[in-house]
């Protein structure tokens, strides 16, 4: 693991903004970055690209509810309620890189930026340190200490969306994971299997980063509107082979449905269920490739179809951006959070991540 020398920054605000003793009072090892780098609503840590463990202490004199997002609107810690006069500790691992959001987007600000939110935020203490390998506890890994990544390859329904009201499910996934799993979201708006393989900022950038036991979740279909079945299948196989050649574990993910209903309350077989203009049934091809190549499959099409149909025409509007943008493809923050939860459930159910590393 690469070692970094971390220099303490000048405090952004006085420590009195928090209901806790100064960070130094906790006997920290030199080099840890703490609460002196925070204001009441944000923290900035001047660190180079890499993976970092973040440990927080939440709570204060009054009842509180705190959530933490980071970098390009990634949800890192869900809203956590703490009773008055009590403290709780939480931790997570965050991936810091440039560009910090979509791979073809702007670089973003250097270092690690966290936003402290929630209905009644109370950050009492925080410590940021370079992430260290730990035992994965998986039979596949043999208990070998590693720092495991979950790389995401996808489109605008997966990516770290830069602005409200949009959100990709990959943007919400980190909040469901504990320290030891770092989500590196390389999904990018507008990408198909064709363009993702062709753009050097995408597949050619992600592939060299993959290490043994890393998971690589692949959801590309929404923009393959003119991709014929043979090409689509070949592109998926290329991605699977490329991941395995680096020692990673590919996971194929069928696309989230679009919110287009038939008169009987079921989803449209073509538009909603991702059958393109050439008649290519994308989810069916993905399922076929997964079976042929013995690749784990997260059938997000089936899971999201069942959910959207159960919510109905009106209830499903909150999942998508229908109310805000008349958009039946892209998800709201709420919808992306729900869909990320479905992905987490499948990762745990299929033993792709240890249950102890999920929330």
Which whole-number Å values give the CA distances from 275 to 129, 218, 228, 284, 309, in the listed order? 46, 18, 11, 9, 18
For residue 245, give the 3-state DSSP assignment.
helix
**Is the distance from CB of 36 to CB of 106 less than 8 angstroms?**
no
Q: Which CATH number fits domain 134-357: 3.60.15.10, 3.40.50.720, 3.40.50.1110, 3.40.47.10?
A: 3.40.50.1110
Residue 261 φ/ψ, nearest 5 degrees: -100, 150
Distance CA(291)–CA(307), nearest Å, equals 24
Q: Which fold has domain 15-130?
A: Jelly Rolls (2.60.120)
Q: Report the candidate in 198, 165, 137, 141 with the shortest Cα–Cα distance to residue 332.
A: 165
Direct distance between the N- and C-terminal alpha carbons of the chain, in angstroms, rounded to an integer: 26
pLDDT for 61 equals 97
Beta-bridge mates of residue 90: 56
**Is the distance from CB of 124 to CB of 18 less than 8 angstroms?**
yes
Digit-by-digit pLDDT tens for the chain (359 residues) are 333 333 323 233 323 333 333 333 333 434 459 999 999 999 999 999 999 999 999 999 999 999 999 999 999 999 999 999 999 999 999 999 999 999 999 999 999 999 999 999 999 999 999 998 765 554 344 555 566 899 999 999 999 999 999 999 999 999 999 999 999 999 999 999 999 999 999 999 999 999 999 999 999 999 999 999 999 999 999 999 999 999 999 999 999 999 999 999 999 999 999 999 999 999 999 999 999 999 999 999 999 999 999 999 999 999 999 999 999 999 999 999 999 999 999 999 999 998 889 99
Ordered by start, the domain boundaries in the chain are 15-130, 134-357
């Amino acid at each position: 693991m690469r070692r970094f020398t971390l220099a303490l920054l000048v405090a952004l605000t006085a420590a009195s903004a928090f209901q806790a003793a100064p960070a130094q009072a906790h006997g920290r090892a030199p080099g840890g970055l703490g609460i002196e780098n925070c204001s009441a609503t944000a923290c900035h840590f001047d660190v180079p690209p890499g993976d970092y463990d973040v440990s927080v202490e939440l709570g204060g004199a009054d009842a509180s509810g705190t959530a933490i997002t980071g970098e390009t609107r990634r949800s890192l810690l869900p809203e956590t309620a703490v009773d008055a006069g009590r403290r709780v500790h939480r931790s997570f691992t965050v991936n810091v890189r440039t560009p910090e959001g979509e791979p073809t987007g702007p670089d973003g600000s250097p270092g690690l930026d966290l936003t402290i939110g929630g209905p009644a935020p109370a950050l009492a203490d925080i410590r940021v340190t370079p992430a260290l390998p730990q035992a994965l506890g998986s039979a596949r890994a043999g208990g070998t200490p590693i720092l495991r990544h979950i790389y995401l390859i996808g489109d605008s329904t997966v990516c770290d969306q830069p602005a409200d009201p949009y959100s990709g499910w990959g943007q919400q996934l980190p909040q469901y994971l504990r320290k030891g799993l770092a989500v590196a979201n390389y999904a990018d708006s507008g990408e198909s299997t064709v363009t993702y393989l062709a753009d050097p900022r995408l597949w050619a950038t992600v592939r060299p980063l993959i290490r043994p036991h890393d998971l690589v979740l692949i959801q590309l279909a929404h923009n393959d509107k003119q991709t014929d079945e043979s090409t689509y299948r070949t592109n998926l196989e290329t991605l699977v082979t490329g991941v395995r050649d680096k020692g990673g574990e590919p996971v194929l993910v069928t696309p989230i449905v679009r919110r287009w209903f038939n008169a009987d309350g079921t989803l449209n077989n073509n538009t909603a269920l991702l059958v393109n203009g050439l008649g290519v049934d994308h989810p069916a091809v993905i399922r076929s490739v997964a079976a042929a190549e013995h690749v784990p499959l997260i059938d997000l099409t089936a899971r999201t179809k069942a959910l959207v149909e159960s919510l109905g025409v009106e209830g499903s509007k909150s999942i998508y951006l229908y109310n805000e943008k008349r958009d039946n493809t892209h998800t709201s923050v709420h919808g992306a959070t729900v869909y990320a939860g479905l992905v987490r459930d499948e990762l745990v159910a299929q033993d792709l991540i240890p249950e102890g590393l999920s929330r």
